[in-house]
Amino acid sequence: MKKTAFFIAILILTASCVSTRSTLKNVDDNAPDLILKKDNTFAITLFSKDKKYGYDPDYPVNIFYQNTRDEALNENRFLNALAGPNGEKITYTRLETCCPFPSKRSDMGAGFLNVYELKWEGQKKPVTLYLNVYEKGILMVPMGLRLKQ
């Protein structure tokens, strides 16, 4: 009996951590499917004019690509297409997973953002980007970054 009560309490606590309304502002289910280039990076043709795009958890880079079974692959496809502001080679590290939100594209009914730190030579302060593999959106290069040549 005590185990059942404990399990129910944990279940309620876990369910209460995810809001029933998403705070994501840039989800677009009508966004075109992402295209892969020969070098296994995403083909990106647009540059964001919004300072929040990718840098704010409410405006993550939405990189949904058919499924979320291998999220690191999709994140790498996006990040490997980028360069620093003057074309510098970037390195990146996944810092954490955060910011749960409701999602119909997840078996759990919730999605999470992955937070990455980007660095390049000559940079004064690392850049933090929020990536979302659960939802669709128009894929763009965040302000201050370029496409890798």
Element (H, E) at 98: strand 90-102
Give a yes or no: residue 66 inside a domain: yes
Please give the average pLDDT of every successive group of 10 residues along the chain, which has 149 residues.
45 47 87 91 96 98 74 91 97 96 87 96 96 94 96
Give how many domains the chain has, as a whole number: 1
Residue 2: inside a domain, yes or no?
A: no
CB proximity list for 46: less than 8 A, separation 6 or greater: 138, 139, 140, 141
Domain hosting residue 53, numbered range: 21-147
Residue 98 in domain: yes
- The whole-number pLDDT of residue 66 equals 61
pTM: 0.83
Confidence (pLDDT) at 72? 86
- What is the distance between the alpha carbons of residues 36 and 134, in angstroms, rounded to a whole number? 18
